Structure 1
Amino acid sequence: MDRNGFQVIMTLLGSLAVFIYGMNLMSDGLQKAAGDKMRKFLSLLTRNPLTGVLAGILTAAVLQSSSATTVMVIGFVSAGLMNLPQAVSIILGANIGTTITAQLIAFQVGDYFWIFILIGFTMHIFMKKENWVHIGQTIFAFGLLFLSIYIMSESMKRIALLPETTQLFLTVKEWPVIGVFLGTAMSLVLQSSTASMAVLQNLAEQIDSNGFSSVIGLEAALPIIFGTNIGTTITAVAASVGAPSDAKRTAAAHILFNVVGTFLFMFFIPAYCWFIRYISPSGLEYQVIARQIANAHTFFNVINTLIFLPFIGVLVKLVIKIIPDKDADRLPWQPQYLDYNIIDQPVFAIHLATKELLRMAEFAFQMIKNAKKGFIAGDAEAVRNVAREEEIVNRLQEEAVKYLASIFATDTLTEHQGNIVSGLIHISSDIEHMGDNCVNIAAFAEEKMKNGYEFSDAACAEIYECFDQATRMARTMMRVLEERDIHLAKELLAQKKEMNRMEERLKKQHIRRLYDKSCSPEFTVMYTDVIHNIERIGDSCKKIAEAVISDIQFKENNMANKEFKDAI
């Protein structure tokens, strides 16, 4: 290889690297600008197949990748937050959403890429409002995409002149299946059908030796386009490895959608070429080929979706038959919701982490009930259950903290999201502390049963009353964590004040019984320690409420500060 050839290859690879970086940067900016609205939007638009498709289109447009959308959906299915028909409908839409970048390239929006880069850079550096900063990042990345395409086109001119290039596309025209394999290989290597399409469009715009045709031509481009859709499914397959059966089925549905669609379209390449030329602008082939390729990519996915949409139920049954349910029972201490494949999408990663903490809180809640049963009723099995549940809570807390720390390690967090993650790490510790207090009470229950201690009816009634208050607080705490409702959080703080008053009242009543000799002095230490541990369970609930209130106030203060800065 001569020096010029080496330079061409390095330019091509370098421009591809910039393109993929720009695409990721734009996805990051769009996600930060959209914020938590993305998660709420997705939950609203998955109620039926049609709205699911719409959700898939818009999510893939924001994430700039059908693969990223599919990986996210697989994570939700794996966690039990989304069923298989919902997931399939989103995937159908995601394949349409990912064609948007190819359309923008074809419309030559990037002819003004320096303007986009300048405006985006200025907004990102000088804007004070966080949302405008993220929008600036998106515009800057958009310009970067088209800068890379401009550089790429220069190297493509040299590649198009190679006799091997001409021979390759002549072979593809004669044997379209080779084009499918070529497109699949491109997406596998680049890990992006969007990047593959950008390469294909740039190469297709190069002029053939006759002076008016494209070096590729639409007939040869079509099977390559179909292949890029197949190649992009591999990321989803990788994400489903080790996941539950429904997650594997989601990946299988993604593959079937693209493979069956490709198989069908391969029989109608001449007719599809006529249709694409009919709906695309007229002109010399090399001048309009980029638009034709973009339209072919979009309509392949639109038509494919329209074909599959009425048969989502059939597709679901088919993938269930292909992948039977062989899931082993998930051990209780294994995380159910944490998915590291979507760690770079903090909106959804935070949602999954919160769900796991809620599951952890349910085990802690069960520990309170078992500690109560063990101490009041002398139930030995309940005491043993407390020990088993403590192991589960401890393991889940360790996994949750690792996951939350991994979210922190990404570069995609907004300031508000960082505050939420920090709060969730503290909340995980507070839930674990609740379990520790239950273990202490269970130890007192064991000692009580072993020594045959009998508390007075009044003392038992007081401990029962205290447990009831802790149970109410734990229920409210779980609602606060799930709903992030400031009014519920404040109600929980009021419940804690009530518990503090109760603790003081019960201590005074116990002292009175000691004076009246209606209670044995040897039980005093155990009584006060049990009451104190129950009070500390309430204290952990209070801290969780305070963390949620702090997050809500942080968001409100940030918005108020930005409005004030904008005003001055």
Structure 2
Amino acid sequence: MKNMSDGMQAVAGNSLRRLIGAVTNNRFLASIVGVIVTCIVQSSSITTVMVVGFVNSGVMGLAQGIGVIMGANIGTTITGWILVLKVGKYGLPILGFSAFAYLFSKGDRWRYWAMFLMGIGMVFFGLELMKEACSAIKDVPDFEAWFAKFNADSYVGVLKCAAVGCILTTLVQSSSATLGITISLATQGVISYPTAAALVLGENIGTTITAFLASLGTTTHARRAAYFHVIFNLFGVFWITLIFQWYIRLIQSIVGVDVGQSVMVDGSATYPNVVAAIAATHSVFNVANTLLFLPFLQPMVRFLEWAVPARAYKEKPRLTDLDVLILETPLLAIEQSRKEILKMGDGCLKMMDWLLELMNADEPDKVLADRLKQRERVLDTVQDEVAEFITGLLSSGNVSHATAEEARRQLRLADEYESISDYIANLDKFDRKLRRDGFRFSESQRADLAQLNRHITEYVAAVHEGLANGNRNIAAATGPAVTRIRSEIKSLRRKHLEELSTGPMAPVISVAFLAALNAYNRVRDHSRNIAETISQDK
């Protein structure tokens, strides 16, 4: 299951990003996104943990998250329908050929398609092994007597079977895996179809444990999303068990097969028709439950806000929206860290504007100066958080080469933006120190520095826009601007040295002006490094 999931996530990475970005407050659209994403990642647990992470980081609202979670419950039923395909005997050949392709393919995309197929081969081969093992159970009286205790022929029996399914899924942490076990037991006649159907219902409750555990220690909104997942499945199983006998008769009429029809394989009776009935039991239950909850989405949000009240203190100690829960899906995680780096660039551009305003002010503006200093400290912390997040991503072990390369580029970009913010803060320090000592740059120097500031701001903005748009030609496109700024700085340095030889100038002003030119040059250098990183020149 993990190989299938990792392979599909890598292959469908860009589609996954677009799908998550498409989630709006439209409850139907959010549910459809949940269905599609879960079909891609092959796990409702991964989708739900992702949603808890997104809600925790503020990327997704609670109502949006609830919609996606409901869709995820429908999407996870795709596994049952995959198992309906009678290709179990082909499991080992699929596994063998795809493993060969995985080991010897040069391209990442082919390797991840091979990983996905390898996962499918493992699942089918594993099911064949389980079926053989389960057939032996029928010949052991003690086992048969134990399974006879769990029979869904009464309401109490249905609840007992559901409890077993819940506990088994809680231990395995995958409803898809326990569904495979249930199908193996049912096809070998170890358990009846009604018992298998009750086990499947319990598995829906057991799968909620993953998101519940992921929500521990998160924000109130994230806990509300995880609690909704539990409520959604508990309530669904509660109402379906009340009409259980009618429900399984309905499923058999929908599927149109006789679940009791046996086929002799190697001298023992098997029940192949039960697979489609179990898959339909799982799908119809989740679709019906979602349709039941959809009209009450807003009241449900209000109930969760009442049941899980917000804490009195500030819940988010971190400055970024990064969340370790999103590391489960590397492609979405790398997109999230990219957004944080874009925010760093926006912060640097704001600092450049504030710096120009501070230098041109007749009187020191303490409020604006403090804001600039605070922004520089914030960017320091953001860089630390981004570096910690990306390091965690690289060490997670299931990252494609392309994602790992992007992660390393992002580490460099975060460092470059943080360095730019340091030099901008230094430029303000030079001006404040002069004012404190009773000096100021001359009117001519202020005009020259203001013009240089504008030119460099335009250059930084162009590079930042290149990053936002993924423009691989940004280094070449902004090359002339780099040359012009270098020439401008050299020209200003020459002009300053000529002024020193023609008239008196306080040494502190001379030192501060040359230091300012050097700082602006370093801002340009770090911006050029960003352009080269985007263009992948170095």
What TM-score, normalized by structure 2, do the two folds share?
0.90
What fraction of aligned residue pairs are identical, expressed as a percent? 26
User: Hey, what does 2:320 align to over in structure 1?
Assistant: 336
The amino acid of 1:403's aligned partner reads F
**1:279 and 1:490 mapped to 2: Cα distance?**
63
Aligned partner of 1:528 among 497, 514, 520:
514
Q: Superposition pairs for residues 21-420 of structure 1, below 5 Å? A: 23-44=1-22, 46=24, 48-160=26-138, 161=140, 162-170=143-151, 173-175=154-156, 176-207=158-189, 215-280=190-255, 281-284=257-260, 286-326=271-311, 328-329=313-314, 334-377=318-361, 378-420=364-406
Q: 1:157 to 1:268 in 2, by over 3 A?
A: same
The amino acid of 1:449's aligned partner reads R
**2:76 and 2:151 mapped to 1: Cα distance?**
28
Q: 1:261 to 1:355 in 2, by over 3 A?
A: same
**1:487 and 1:93 mapped to 2: Cα distance?**
40
- Structure 1 residue 137: deviation in Å? 1.6
Q: Which moved more, 1:24-33 or 1:104-113?
A: 104-113
- Structure 1 residue 435: deviation in Å? 2.2
SS in 1 for 2:383: helix
- Structure 1 residue 374: deviation in Å? 4.5
Q: 1:345 to 1:489 in 2, by over 3 A?
A: farther
Q: 1:57 to 1:430 in 2, by over 3 A?
A: same
**2:416 and 2:410 mapped to 1: Cα distance?**
10
Is the 8 Å Cα contact of residues 434 and 509 (structure 2) preserved in structure 1? no
Could you give the per-residue CA deviations for residues 47-105 of structure 1, whole angstroms, max 9, x where no partner exists?
Answer: 63323222211211221110100111122222222222222221111111111112222
Is the 8 Å Cα contact of residues 371 and 442 (structure 1) preserved in structure 2? yes
The two structures, once aligned, show a CA RMSD in angstroms of 2.5
- Structure 1 residue 385: deviation in Å? 3.8
The amino acid of 1:284's aligned partner reads G
User: Hey, what does 1:7 align to over in structure 2?
Assistant: none
The amino acid of 1:304's aligned partner reads N
**1:307 and 1:259 mapped to 2: Cα distance?**
13
- Structure 1 residue 364: deviation in Å? 3.6
Q: Superposition pairs for residues 495-506 of structure 1, below 5 Å? A: 495-506=481-492
The amino acid of 2:239's aligned partner reads L
Is the 8 Å Cα contact of residues 46 and 90 (structure 1) preserved in structure 2? no
Q: Which moved more, 1:58-67 or 1:462-471?
A: 462-471
**1:170 and 1:133 mapped to 2: Cα distance?**
45
Q: Quick check: 1:470 aligned with 2:456?
A: yes
**1:171 and 1:44 mapped to 2: Cα distance?**
42
The amino acid of 2:147's aligned partner reads T
SS in 2 for 1:81: coil
Q: 1:166 to 1:135 in 2, by over 3 A?
A: same
**2:22 and 2:471 mapped to 1: Cα distance?**
19
Is the 8 Å Cα contact of residues 102 and 294 (structure 1) preserved in structure 2? yes
Is the 8 Å Cα contact of residues 153 and 202 (structure 1) preserved in structure 2? yes
- Structure 1 residue 172: deviation in Å? 7.1
**1:122 and 1:151 mapped to 2: Cα distance?**
22
Structure 2 residues not aligned, in runs of 5+: 262-270
- Structure 1 residue 42: deviation in Å? 2.8
The amino acid of 2:243's aligned partner reads F
Aligned partner of 1:426 among 412, 420, 423:
412
The amino acid of 2:260's aligned partner reads L
**1:446 and 1:93 mapped to 2: Cα distance?**
57
User: Hey, what does 1:546 align to over in structure 2?
Assistant: 532
The amino acid of 1:181's aligned partner reads A
- Structure 1 residue 492: deviation in Å? 4.6
SS in 2 for 1:25: helix
Q: 1:388 to 1:283 in 2, by over 3 A?
A: closer
Q: Which moved more, 1:429-438 or 1:439-448?
A: 439-448
The amino acid of 1:166's aligned partner reads F
**1:284 and 1:133 mapped to 2: Cα distance?**
42
Is the 8 Å Cα contact of residues 434 and 508 (structure 2) preserved in structure 1? no
The amino acid of 1:293's aligned partner reads I
Is the 8 Å Cα contact of residues 119 and 139 (structure 1) preserved in structure 2? no
Is the 8 Å Cα contact of residues 344 and 379 (structure 2) preserved in structure 1? yes
Is the 8 Å Cα contact of residues 375 and 441 (structure 1) preserved in structure 2? no
Q: 1:199 to 1:514 in 2, by over 3 A?
A: same
SS in 1 for 2:191: coil
Is the 8 Å Cα contact of residues 346 and 417 (structure 1) preserved in structure 2? yes
Q: Number of paired residues?
A: 522
Is the 8 Å Cα contact of residues 45 and 54 (structure 1) preserved in structure 2? no
**1:284 and 1:226 mapped to 2: Cα distance?**
20
Could you give the per-residue CA deviations for residues 156-186 of structure 1, whole angstroms, max 9, x where no partner exists?
Answer: 2344541443332137745122222222111
Could you give the per-residue CA deviations for residues 384-415 of structure 1, whole angstroms, max 9, x where no partner exists?
Answer: 44443333222221221121111111332222
Could you give the per-residue CA deviations for residues 223-256 of structure 1, whole angstroms, max 9, x where no partner exists?
Answer: 3222111111121122222222222222122222
The amino acid of 1:297's aligned partner reads H
The amino acid of 2:296's aligned partner reads F
**1:262 and 1:344 mapped to 2: Cα distance?**
28
Is the 8 Å Cα contact of residues 373 and 379 (structure 1) preserved in structure 2? no
**1:164 and 1:473 mapped to 2: Cα distance?**
78
Is the 8 Å Cα contact of residues 152 and 194 (structure 2) preserved in structure 1? no
Q: 1:90 to 1:522 in 2, by over 3 A?
A: closer
What TM-score, normalized by structure 1, do the two folds share?
0.85
The amino acid of 2:514's aligned partner reads T
